[in-house]
A = this chain, B = another copy of it.
Amino acid sequence: MSLLSIGQVAKQTGVTVETVRFYEKQGLIEAPQRSDSGYRQYPWETTKRVRFIQHAKEVGFTLKEVAELLALRREPGTSCSDIKLRATEKIEAVDQKIKDLQLIREALSRMVLKCRGGRDLSACPILEELEMEELDMKEQPAS
């Protein structure tokens, strides 16, 4: 119900007020209404959006890409099949990221397992695991 000041949004989301203003300038959050004195007044949902931006950044999306994700909504003038297509493309990108992370995760897990006990002098062999090749075959320019 009640509106939030920029400082409150910042505190709720763990970013700085400057970052909130920066996101506004970049069009990632829409310019909120202003008080008589010119203070920004945010609806509560803005905190959800700021958190979404942080999470998306955390998993490797640039702000430009986050903007594209946030723009995935049916606006007048766009067809349903159009946003469906764009959303499907995003899902594929997300799936690739999940795959990459799962392989990294498995390599790290193998590492922890190998490294049990520590009895052997030269145990825990160098982790060339991490240089996994399972990830490799994706896009090889044919040239």
- Chain A contacts to B: CB under 8 angstroms: 14, 45, 48-49, 51-52, 55-61, 69-70, 72-74, 79-81, 83-84, 87-88, 90-91, 94-98, 100-105, 108-109, 111-112, 115-118, 123-128, 130-133, 135-136, 139, 141
User: Given contacts A80-B124, A90-B108, is CB(A132)–CB(B48) below 8 Å?
Assistant: yes
Complex contact B133–A48 (CB within 8 A) = yes
Chain B residues lying within 8 Å of A90, measured Cβ to Cβ, are 108
Complex contact A132–B52 (CB within 8 A) = yes
Complex contact B105–A84 (CB within 8 A) = no
Chain B residues lying within 8 Å of A72, measured Cβ to Cβ, are 108, 111, 127, 130
